[in-house]
Structure 1
Amino acid sequence: MSAPIDVVREFCALMERRDPQALRPFLAQDAVYQNVGMPASVGPDAIVENMGAQFAMFPDAYAFEIVNIAADGAVVLTERLDYIQATDGSQPAVPVMGTFVVGNDGKITRWTDYFDVNLTMKLLQGEDISSLVPTT
């Protein structure tokens, strides 16, 4: 079995494929995914459906770049830059902090992301957010 930090690294790397079904094997039956401030998705079916909708919103770009990662047992914290496609075709980064909990079976039981919704809205409205995003 892989260490929790390795499970999360592999899971985040899969985002670039934009294939929600590829995420399913990483999710526990009772997994919970939530962007703070939005309703949670509970269970693999709901999480895969949620991610499918996100990938559909950004069909040409979706990737996670891990800037920093730390683990304490089953809990893995990520500081990421999540890349999505803006209205002008650019692929700016949105800073995100994520918490993942990995069960004894190596499957993710909880995934919670924290980010500035207003920053994302500016991006989706076509504003240049480059000066608002930390550099790596």
Structure 2
Amino acid sequence: MGFSGCCPADSDLENAWRNDLEREVREINSSVFDDVAEMMKIIANPLRIKILFLLEKKDHSVYELMYVLKEPQNLLSYNLGVLKKAGLLESYYRSRHKTYRLTAEQSAPLIRCLKQVLFP
């Protein structure tokens, strides 16, 4: 199948050109773009970004987050659940209070990226 008028005329150049384009097609169709888009949807909420930044400094209970963020418990719990489901947080009990912390594997690169964008 020829691409007359849009690609190099020399057959070696055309093959290299076509191979480059095929490589780009494979790269652009990678599922990583879907994963990035999903993660962007998750962190597109300002409250979730604030939660991530607070948890980067130290673990917090829901009550501590309520105090700092001035948000109701049900709203915080919902958003913490979204972040936990995405693998960005994990929880444990400290005394009787459910406490949240970042999962280093998933969250660290995301936090670094957000800091670069927000605080250049």
Normalising TM by the smaller chain, what interval?
Answer: under 0.3
More helix by share: 2
Structure 1 length normalisation: TM-score? 0.24
The structure that has the greater radius of gyration is: 2
Q: Which has the higher contact order (CA 8 A, sep 6+)?
A: 1
More strand by share: 1
Structure 2 length normalisation: TM-score? 0.26
